[in-house]
Chains A and B, each alone.
Chain A
Amino acid sequence: MSFLSPPDRVDLSVKTADEVKTTTCYMCACRCGIKVHLKDGQLRYIEGNRDHPVNKGVLCAKGSAGIMQHNSPARLRKPLLRTGERGSGEFREIEWAEALDLATGWLADIRKTDPRKLAFFTGRDQSQALTGWWASAFGTPNYAAHGGFCSVNMAAAGLYTIGGSFWEFGEPDWEHARYFLMFGVAEDHASNPIKIGLGKLKGRGAKFVSVNPVRTGYSAIADEWIGVKPGTDGMLVLALVHELLKADRIDADYLVRYTNAPWLVVRAPGTAGDGLFARDDKGRPLCWDKRTNAVGDALSAEVSPALAGTYRLADGREAIPSFQLLAERYLDPAYAPEKAAEVTGVSAETIRRIAAELAEVAFSETVTLDVPWTDWAGRRHQTMVGRPVAMHAMRGISAHANGFHTCRAIHMLQTLLGTIDVPGGFRYRPPYPRPAPPAVRPAGKPGQVAPGQAMKGPPLGFTTGPEDLLVEADGTPCRIDKAFSWEAPIAAHGLMHHVIRNAWAGDPYPIDTLFMYMANMSWNSAMNVPETMAMLTDKDSSGAYRIPHIIYSDAYASEMVSYADLVLPDTTYLERWDCVSLLDRPISDADGAADAIRQPVVTPDRDVRAFQDVVLDLGVRLGLPGMVNDDGSARYPGGYSDYLVRHERAPGIGSLAGWRGADGSSDGAGAPNPDQLKRYIDNGCFWQHELAPDQRYFKHANQSYLAYAKSVGFVGSTDPIILQLYVEPMQKFRLAAQGHGPVQPPDRLRARTEKFFDPLPIWYPPFEHETADGFPLSALTQRPMAMYHSWGSQNAWLRQIHGANRIYVGRRLGEREGIADDDWIWIESRLGRVKAQVRLMDGVNDETIWTWNAIGKRSGTWGLAKDAPESQRGFLLNHLIGDVLADGAPNADPVTGQAAWYDLRVRIGKADGPPVSEPQFQSLPRPPGATEPTGLLRYGARFRGRS
């Protein structure tokens, strides 16, 4: 018997949406444009917006799972007040009025007496332009976002060296690069642009080399994988520099035009001027002009500067071009490939070959664009010529105690090859480049903080020497996180990872209230989780909590919620106004500045409020300057969306750059436009200003670009931005350590400061590696592309992709240790041990084990069942990572204070017992009022279009 199938009644033209609204994704830091399809008021489908500059229509797994994020059973529903012991998860629901009264009471007392006693730290927040301004208005220096434990090494190294950075501040020239060198795990920032770019790059036949101890993620499609030992990338890069210098394969013309390579450095050992740039009486740096055989203005276009030689200054001191110091340093055999091979595990032959490949592409495959342009000095060039070698690095470089210098080394390599903002190289994304470093200094010095007063200046910025540090006369840090102190002088993003320990210890002083937003600081955002939980709940001899008040705002029942006294429930990303501002972390690409908004596309079905609205409301209740009118009424009665439109940071400069001016005709700068948000919505919720073709490269020295950048407030002048191979501020800190100047480091930090504040990049072993006898392996995390931090596990779809993490062990290492696939093992560090299940693999460095980041959950959190695999088989390496070293010093980069997550050293051994990960912590109860998760999900059944 045989059937001829009857035609199925397939409805080919189902109308899938009643309405399609645009907004901006928030499932990671990428901030793609999305189109949200709504049917019967429900979310039917979320897709990428084809017109959007970030993602050009594509959307990743996380963005595509936004429906499940929005509908997560872990959503908080109403303000919560703690009723049980802190950490127990026992709360009662309260009204917003009570919640805001309570918070206002605590905060008003602090502001009246000592504003420093508020520590205000935000996690995955992307409205730092608002929250930083709020902190200044409140008057506390104790503010930062999460950059200190994320990637401040990348930001600081980039901004001090090239006035830009990898990350969201720059990108490879995907259209023209012929060789692409990527360092470390980089899957979690700019993820869709990088994926789009890799597709183009490989399609064009460019070579992609990935340097990463683990062959996952993007490394999987690299033409060559270099499985370097963790934390040794810097040495690899310096050996490449050694080879290029030795072979004279550097772009000397580029160095002279665009960098401080020819600037003269004073050589006067033992004096306060040693190692600083020689300057004229106006402060302009000097060079040796070979045309006149005399000292000349290094910033003038009319000099022919020397790159080597010893010269006598007018004051009789000796000076040499900084390039000479650089060349002397890296030509030294200490940086020979053989030496680097011992450190990195990468063969000398490979290092030599990579250096040769870089040189070959840079110097024999130049890219020429027929685009005439004018340089900073007014000289016309008929073409744009570039060296098509592009590089990218992110967290894998950042999260080591040597990450600042390693990132500097990469920028030095790029610069020596002449590949910064040239066709085929690395490209700045406006508003970058900015002067290196940008001209913003942190406020919060003694005398800048006073009861009842706003702080005159932002809490975060860029120090240029000891005089910019936030320290008391005796060297005591002014900030609770000790940022911008001798502990971490260039802590450009603050040090959120030290806040809980310092607040607990009352070091340098006790605080009253810890106010946090979207930072899972009792779990995957903490180092040494068990001790952190203990500090959050610890009491003094009187029985009072050592951290008296904790206010926490989040949209979801994360592990941190249980440690709050007061919980302020946030909305999901589809329920609120938001702003992706040029004042903050922009979404520009190299061809133009861009910003974006989120608009509410659905209405909350819970008693929740957007955090940004709440912050402004608290500002009004506290009477903070800028947030209230003279009569005390709210200056932005419409809340955050009102603020977005009407707030001006400087005349004509506001949160959003598009459609400014009363009639919306101004771009970049202009008076507030009451219809601005509507104009954004009409344009797909983003704005982009495309640069003219002659402005798109050499931005640091491009007359037309710099004039534009000045007109819209990106830079303060049209002076060229000189790339700083030699970073003078580093030398200033070093000189202080040598005893010069009025601001002196404490003696215990003197030697350390002198050693690590080298004005040229250095490599040194990560601190944990040096002291980890008996712990022979590195243990790392990688970032799964389908998950973002801890958020994904509450997502019914994404948790089917990464529901429980394994510990990945190299097959050869497994054989050596007698460990087989699926075995359970102990991973042990000097702090303790974690039990996890093994997956053997080939593509991993032999001395490294790794797992996916933030998959392991605490039982009872994130709306998951108590026996969910995330808690029973998932695990965190965080429990093993010290926030301090064995000697009590921070486990951090000594320059920036960046948390050194990736320096963890462990040993492994087989584990017995039940197949459950350890440690396990007491299961947390579901917050009151929380939705009971469904046991059967048939999302979309209602949309079925068959007739």
Chain B
Amino acid sequence: MTSLPASPGAKKLGLVIDLDICVGCHACAVNCKEWNAGGHSAPLTDLDPYGKDVDGVWFNRVHSFEAGDHDCGRTVHFPRSCLHCETPDCVTVCPTGASYKRAEDGIVLVNPDTCIGCKLCSWACPYGAREFDETDGVMKKCTLCIDRIYNETMEEVDRVPACVSTCPVSARHFGDLGDPESDVSRLVAARQGYDLMPELGYKPVNKYLPPRMPKRQAAPALMPSEEVAAKGFLAWLDRMLSR
């Protein structure tokens, strides 16, 4: 089986996803697909792409569901990708060392040269974040766009995961969650960001920001104007108004 880094660094790169403003537009999912189709884990194979049973490899998928009762309920759009856990079983179950966690930044990757396609890691991941490429016979997954975030051929402002840079509502944030002073850590603190299924003990690095409480404006009830009540439209008769 595969070991986690013996002395992990302080840096924990990950995503913060704001469920308060995610409209479920799938921009993140498709831009991820587009970038990664030609990226580090290329290709992201699509089987039967124009046929009856189309099925492709996606590193990021958006699930939509409803929560709560009819009128008080809410439609939730929930983007799901690898959480780059601190203690993930998907790494430790790997029989070949192909699935590994980088010590320097915490990113969980798969080495396709040593992956034997046994799928143990996908069974171990409770978040369903691993994607098996049947054609290549290897497991693939979110790389946190490792070929973007350090890429010196790109402008610095572009060195973020594709899903973050494309998100129209700015519901996705990228940064070092190991640094309590980072923007993402502050955001998580301010908005009570949470771990997905913390009881499983994998210590996800990615965080989700919960929907804010709906605004219920405390507006005083409109009182009928005494003048309008008495005079109807003539209430406006005596006003001196200038252009």
Flag if B71 contacts A227 (CB, 8 Å). Answer: yes
Interface string of B26-41 (1 = CB under 8 A from A): 1101110111111110
Query: Could you say which residues of chain B place their CB within 8 Å of the CB of A55?
Result: 168
**Using Cβ atoms and an 8 Å threshold, which residues of chain B touch A192?**
168
Which of chain B's residues 193-243 have a Cβ closer than 8 Å to chain A? 211-212, 214-217, 219-225, 227-229, 232-237, 239-243
Residues of B within 8 A of A47 (CB): 31, 162, 165-166
Which A191-226 residues have C-beta < 8 A from chain B?
191-192, 195-196, 198-199, 202-203, 205-208, 215-221, 223-225
CB distance from B108 to the nearest CB of A (A): 10
Task: Please name the residue on chain A nearest to B146 by beta carbon.
Answer: A10
Q: Is the CB of B214 within 8 A of A308?
A: no
Q: Nearest Cβ distance between residue A521 and chain B, in whole angstroms?
A: 24
Is the CB of B125 closer than 8 A to any CB of chain A?
Answer: no
Give bound CA distance, A61 to B167, whole Å.
9
Q: Contacts A64-B34, A252-B236 given: A796-B151 contact, CB under 8 Å?
A: no
Q: Which of A8, A11, A50 has the most CB of B within 10 A?
A: A8
Output the residue of A253, A308, A863, A872 with the most chain B CB within 10 A: A308
Residues of B in contact (CB 8 Å), total 106
A865 CB within 8 Å of chain B: yes
- Which residue of A39, A221, A801 contacts B21 across the interface (Cβ within 8 Å)? A221
**Chain B hits for A799, CB < 8 A:** 54
SS of B interface (majority): loop
| Residue ID in chain B nearest A302 by CB atoms | B243
B85 within 8 A of A: no
CA distance A8 to B114 in the complex (A): 10
Partner of A843, one of B75, B233, B243: B75
CB-CB nearest in chain A for B62: A801
Q: Kindly state the separation between the CA atoms of A138 and B154 in the bound complex, as whole angstroms.
A: 51
Q: Which of B23, B153, B215, B219 is the one whose CB lies under 8 Å from A360?
A: B219
Q: Which of A303, A323, A361, A872 contacts B217 (CB 8 A)?
A: A361
B109 to chain A: closest CB distance in Å? 6
Q: How far is the CB of A813 from chain B (nearest CB, A)?
A: 11
Set of chain B residues within 8 Å of A177, measured between Cβ atoms? none
**In the complex, are the beta carbons of A324 and B241 less than 8 A apart?**
no
Find chain A residues with CB under 8 A from B26 CB. 60-61, 785-786, 801
A235 to chain B, nearest CB (A): 18
Which of A157-165, A242-250, A420-428, A752-760 lies on the face that meets chain B? A242-250
Q: Which of B3, B38, B165, B241 touches A304 (beta carbons < 8 Å)? A: B241
What chain B residues lie within 8 Å of A65 (beta carbons)?
30, 33-34
Contact of B34 among A67, A216, A946 (CB under 8 A): A67
B170 within 8 A of A: yes
A341-381, CB under 8 A of B: which get 1 and which 0? 00000000000110111011100000000000000010000
Query: Is A59's CB within 8 Å of the partner chain B?
Result: yes
Determine the chain B residues whose CB is within 8 A of the CB of A303 once the complex forms: 242-243
Chain A 284-337 residues near chain B, CB threshold 8 A: 290, 300-309, 323-324, 327-328, 331
Taking A50-B157, A327-B233, A842-B70 as contacts, is the C-beta distance between A58 and B51 under 8 angstroms?
no
Taking CB atoms, residues of chain B closer than 8 Å to A198 are 21, 23, 169
- Interface-located stretch among A577-585, A916-924, A933-941: A933-941
Partner among B49, B64, B98 whose Cβ is within 8 Å of the Cβ of A933: B49
Cross-chain contact of B111 among A6, A218, A797, A938 (Cβ < 8 A): A6
Q: Which residues of B contact A934 (CB under 8 A)?
A: 49-50
Which residue on chain B has the smallest CB distance to residue A245? B228
**A47 CA to B31 CA, complexed, in Å:** 8
Residue of chain B at shortest CB distance from A812: B70
How many angstroms from the CA of A737 to the CA of B161 in the assembled complex? 63
- Does B90 have its Cβ within 8 Å of any Cβ on chain A? no
Is the pair B169, A199 in contact by a Cβ cutoff of 8 Å? Answer: yes
B75 and A223: CB pair below 8 A?
A: no
Residues of A within 8 A of B216 (CB): 223-224
Q: How far is the CB of B191 from chain A (nearest CB, A)?
A: 10
A936-B222 in contact (CB<8A): no
Contacts of B154 in A (CB 8 A): 16
CB neighbours (8 Å) of A302 from chain B are 243
CB neighbours of A304 from chain B (8 A): 240-243
| Residue in chain A with minimal CB distance to B24 | A220
Whether A13 contacts B153 by the Cβ 8 Å rule is yes
User: Sorted from nearest, which 4 A-B pairs have the closest CB atoms?
Assistant: A3-B97, A5-B100, A943-B38, A940-B38
Given contacts A252-B241, A867-B51, 5 further A-B contacts (CB under 8 A): A2-B2, A4-B2, A355-B222, A356-B221, A785-B25
A to B CB contacts below 8 Å, 17 in the list: A12-B151, A14-B147, A58-B168, A61-B26, A64-B31, A202-B21, A203-B170, A252-B236, A305-B241, A306-B237, A308-B233, A323-B236, A843-B73, A865-B52, A936-B45, A939-B43, A945-B147
